Amino acid sequence: MRSIGMLAGILGGMMFLSGCYGGGGTRRTFDGGGAGPRGLAGAPAVSFDVPALHGPSDSLAAYRGKIVVMNLWATWCPPCKEEMPDLQRFYAAYKSKGVVVLGIDQGESAGVVGAFTKQYGVTFPVLLDDDQQYGRAYAAVGLPTTVVVDRSGHISAGIDGLLTLAQMRQAIAPALAAR
């Protein structure tokens, strides 16, 4: 009996970790094929009205005409915490070029998310997706998941897992080049 309990605990811990981060390492590819959000490249982006952290409801559709780096994350996710400073630096560097970082928290309260964004100095728009609609619609295998949406509202890249600042730049390069 004791062995079964220990095995259940180990399996539960593995499931928790895989739910936060669906891949190994930080090496990412940005082509269109494959499972998860990568397979959505070229498809129209889906949008949902959800509460904004600071203000009324908001949605991905509100940013049509801009390049959007939509990042699905949660405060409890270690790779999300590691990625957040680079997302903020990326936003500061690219917002004048018509690029928006749109953080979409998956299922947490405004109080928890507000404290986290203050701690990390986040200034980009943050939405609160209590029902995790965006995560399901964009085939998020784990967190963080990043989806790049071009100016016309189509998905140009989908990436599961932590991105570095250099990888963020690489992910938006095709959308920036298209005018």
**CATH number of the domain within which 160 lies:** 3.40.30.10
Answer yes or no: are the C-beta atoms of 149 and 178 closer than 8 Å.
Answer: no
The pLDDT confidence band at residue 36, using thresholds 50, 70 and 90, is: confident
Position 177 scores a pLDDT of 94
Maximum Cα–Cα distance across the chain: 63
pTM: 0.82
Spatial distance between the Cα atoms of 159 and 37, rounded to a whole number of angstroms: 6
Answer yes or no: are the C-beta atoms of 42 and 174 closer than 8 Å.
Answer: no
What would the mean pLDDT of 23-50 be, rounded to a whole number? 71
- Alpha carbon 125 to its chain centroid, in Å, reads 12
Position 1 scores a pLDDT of 54
Position 34 scores a pLDDT of 58
Answer yes or no: are the C-beta atoms of 50 and 110 closer than 8 Å.
Answer: no
What does the mean pLDDT of the chain come to? 86
Q: Give the count of domains, the chain.
A: 1
Q: Pairing state of beta strands 67-73 and 55-58?
A: unpaired
Question: What residue numbers bound the domain in which 110 lies?
Answer: 2-177
* DSSP SS3 for 143: coil
Position 29 scores a pLDDT of 40
Residues 123-160 have pLDDT tens digits of 999 999 999 999 999 999 899 999 999 999 999 999 99
Position 179 scores a pLDDT of 76
Per-residue b/e over 81-120, b at no fewer than 16 CB within 10 Å? Answer: bebbebbbebbeebeeeebbbbbbbbebeeeebbebbeee
Is the confidence at residue 12, as pLDDT, over 70?
no
